[in-house]
Amino acid sequence: MPSLQLNERQTADFEMIGNGGFAPLTGPQGSADWKSVVERMTLENGEYWPIPITLATDAEVSEGDTVEITSDEGMALGTLKVSEIFERDINAEAEGVYLTTDTEHPGVAALHEEGARCVAGSYEVKALPDHEDAFMQRYLSPEESKKAFAERGWKRIVAFQTRNPIHRAHEYVTKTALEITDGLMIHPLIGKTKEGDIPAEVRMQCYEVLMKDYYPDDRVILNVFPSKMHYAGPREAVLHAIARRNYGATHFIVGRDHAGVGDYYGTYDAQKIFDEIDIDKLGIQPLFFEHSFWCNRCEGMGSGKTCPHGAEDHVFLSGTKVREMLDNGEIPPQEFSRPEVAQILIDAYSKA
């Protein structure tokens, strides 16, 4: 039987398909779905799907083959029944999904790195990839998440996607959303991210501190999300919403520059894309939040919707400034970050 070893990004896709997070997908998409997703943001059957989930490879496999699948670390995961082999148009996918063909964009760069030849079919899942213990202690599959929500009696569940440490602005947004729902699922992405992003294991330490001291145990679940980042901005916001629907959430937070990178997308483009979507058909309600900050005049957190004061009264630090402070062992002001979170990041930076 031919075999195919997935790379790290492909392993994450396998896991999301295998655990039900990417339902209704059962394997890497074929040419008809690829074309429909790129051009119309739907599968061929009309169901919303914003980013192609394909399997690009130069492996010597043929249509009709049953192929053994292993993870990027060599773990046996299952098999793929190959239904089609096709060539995707990388530039068309880049333009349709990422709105750019610039290879400096990490998502576009990944397309070129993986290549155009794609293998489609259905997976038979025999195992899911391993993760570090710290992740597995917080790992709930979509089925397990729904069960946990039901056991708590939650009917309105809001999910929060993050690939960064939770600073005061994120805490404010999540707690505001929690005020109008029964429960909150903090769902940090632990799959492949771009160089320079804070490692998932460091971020997990930050999340655990906040769970222990700043969120109510009976109203919040911390659950890891084993997907990768595409950095597709608006389209990725839709993908993140669909996945959280599959995990049982009824609401999904979409904030400033969701899944963005550089200057490729407008600040609120990831919110505007939902104007093009039938929310009832999507099956999950987006909750939109503007940029949040601490206001010295208000003496609390707010946003442009709630705070009447000017920028001179707001505590705002750029990512560059925060990294400079952490590099120098300086704790950012408490109005920006909980000191415990900042200390974890300082310790991690000092070891880097």
Structure tokens, 197: 């992003």
Strand order in the sheet with 314-315: 300-303, 292-295, 314-315
CA pair distance 129, 16, nearest whole angstrom: 10
CA pair distance 208, 211, nearest whole angstrom: 5
Task: Decide if 91 is catalytic.
Answer: no
Q: Find out whether 45 and 34 touch, Cβ atoms under 8 Å.
A: no
Fill in the amino acid letter for 92.
A
Q: Find out whether 52 and 93 touch, Cβ atoms under 8 Å.
A: yes
CA pair distance 227, 244, nearest whole angstrom: 11
Fill in the amino acid letter for 120.
A
Candidate list 7, 164, 256, 323, residue with the active-site label: 164
Whether the upstream peptide bond of residue 24 has omega within 30° of 0, thus cis, is: yes
Specify the length of the chain in residues.
352
Q: 175: helix, coil or strand? A: helix
Structure tokens, 338: 């909980």
- Please report, to the nearest 10 degrees, the dihedral formed by the alpha carbons of residues 154, 158, 162, 166 taken in order: -80
Task: Decide if 163 is catalytic.
Answer: yes
**Strand 183-188 with 157-162, pairing:** parallel
Candidate list 88, 163, 203, 245, residue with the active-site label: 163
Burial (Cβ within 10 Å: 0-12, 13-18, ≥19) of residue 333? middle
Residue 326 neighbours by CB under 8 Å, 6+ apart: 332, 342, 345, 346, 349
CA pair distance 231, 234, nearest whole angstrom: 9
**Catalytic machinery residues:** 163-164
